């Protein structure tokens, strides 16, 4: 269940986008109170749910500009299935997503003692086609009645192109980023490939997740930005 939940909401968590330049110009709305909405599809035309990201806070901490985000996920009946809070930040040169904060928001305490180690998702301030990005990963070790270890790796991360994407929210000039994914929990293994399109001041406009055979598994698409 934990692994399934992580895979389902990882794209929502990563949708916080990137930052550019030393003054931290965002690839995500930086104004407190801004809401960004997405629809999720298991395949083109088949909606499985939706989500909303809300910017709840903005502050400077240890010299880094940090945003507080509240994420809410809804099913097809618009009932809330999960809500969690997390933070993202930039150091002037790079943008970081703390995977520990994300996993720590998911009620893991019910499983007993656990330890999380991670290499945070990092995106450079300036991205250009052909640029290779750093890998990211996390490991969750649960030491309850039945010890379980869950790992997830994001590898071969790269900037593919500059493309224009059209969604219900409008037309956006985007940076296309792709990477491979590998997750493992006990005997369950999941491999795939993800493609994401980022727009300045918006964040992820569209993402597509593929299984190891290259078949599309899910689509996440921007449907509104409300300030």
Summarize pLDDT for 7-63 with one digit per residue, the tens.
444 444 455 444 333 455 467 788 899 999 999 998 788 888 898 999 999 998 888
Strand spans (E) along the chain: 19-20, 25-26, 35-43, 46-61, 64-74, 80-90, 94-97, 114-119, 121-124, 136-142, 148-167, 170-185, 188-199, 203-211, 216-226
What is the CA 101 to chain-centroid distance, rounded?
12
Query: What does the pLDDT read at residue 179?
Result: 96
Query: What is d(CA 120, CA 134) in angstroms, rounded to the nearest whole number?
Result: 10
Q: Considering only CA atoms, which of 72, 83, 8 is closest in space to residue 40?
A: 8
Q: Are 31 and 227 in contact (CB under 8 A)?
A: yes
Of 40-54, 78-92, 159-173, minimum mean pLDDT range: 78-92
Q: Are 125 and 17 in contact (CB under 8 A)?
A: no
Which residue would you say has higher pLDDT here, 103 or 126? 126
Q: Which residues pair with 20 in a beta bridge?
A: 25
User: Please, which pLDDT band fits residue 66 given cuts at 50, 70 and 90?
Assistant: confident
**pLDDT, averaged across the chain:** 80
Side-chain-side CA neighbours of 60 within 13 Å: the count stands at 5
Structural domains of the chain ordered from first start: 2-226 (2.40.360.20)
For 105-208, where are the alpha helices, taking DSSP H only? none
Q: What is the average per-residue pLDDT within 196-211?
A: 90
Given 3-state DSSP classes, what are the helix, strand and coil percentages for the chain, each rounded to the nearest 5? 10, 60, 30
Residue 108 has pLDDT above 60, yes or no: no
């Amino acid at each position: 269940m934990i692994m399934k939940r992580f895979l389902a909401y990882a794209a929502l968590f990563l949708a916080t986008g990137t930052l550019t330049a030393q003054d931290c110009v965002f690839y995500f709305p930086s104004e407190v109170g801004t809401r960004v909405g997405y629809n999720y599809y298991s395949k083109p035309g088949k909606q499985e749910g939706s989500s909303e990201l809300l910017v709840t806070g903005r502050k400077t901490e240890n010299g880094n500009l940090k945003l507080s985000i509240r994420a809410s996920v809804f099913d097809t009946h618009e009932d809330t299935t999960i809500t969690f809070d997390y933070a993202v930040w930039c150091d002037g040169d790079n943008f970081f997503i703390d995977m520990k904060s994300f996993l720590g928001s998911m009620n893991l305490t019910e499983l007993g003692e656990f330890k999380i180690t991670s290499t945070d998702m990092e995106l450079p301030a300036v991205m250009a086609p052909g640029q290779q990005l750093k890998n990211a990963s996390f490991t969750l070790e649960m030491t309850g009645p039945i010890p379980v270890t869950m790992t997830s790796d994001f590898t071969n991360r790269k900037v593919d192109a500059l493309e224009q994407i059209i969604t219900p929210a409008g037309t956006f000039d985007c940076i296309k980023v792709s990477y491979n994914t590998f997750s493992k929990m006990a005997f369950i293994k999941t491999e795939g490939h993800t493609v994401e399109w980022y727009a300045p001041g918006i964040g992820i406009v569209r993402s597509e997740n593929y299984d190891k055979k290259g078949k599309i598994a899910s689509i996440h698409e921007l449907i509104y930005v409300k300030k």
